[in-house]
Amino acid sequence: MNSKNFYIVASAPNEPTLQVKISGPYLTEQAAHADLAAAIDEAMDIDPSAKSYSYSISHVESRKPGVIQHMAAHA
């Protein structure tokens, strides 16, 4: 896995600097866009207040999985 990948990121509406990687890593931005709607739906299943979050795709340095993948691995 590359250390720099694309992630779907959620930002809190009242604290935009608070960002959480919810899904990823993706090797391409196109792959992240293809999964965006499903990742948002899954985030809302986990936390109904997620509907008020802002979502974006970021190209960041990380080797850790997003929250959704982390939870699925430990379910």
Strand, helix or coil for residue 49: helix
Q: Where are the alpha helices (DSSP H) in 1-75?
A: 29-46, 67-73
So what's the pLDDT on residue 70? 62
Cα distances (Å, whole numbers) of residue 39 to 9, 54: 10, 13
Taking the chain (75 residues) in consecutive chunks of 10 residues, what is each chunk's mean pLDDT?
A: 83 88 91 94 90 92 73 62
Q: Do residues 29 and 41 lie in contact, with contact meaning Cβ atoms separated by under 8 Å?
A: no
So what's the pLDDT on residue 63? 72
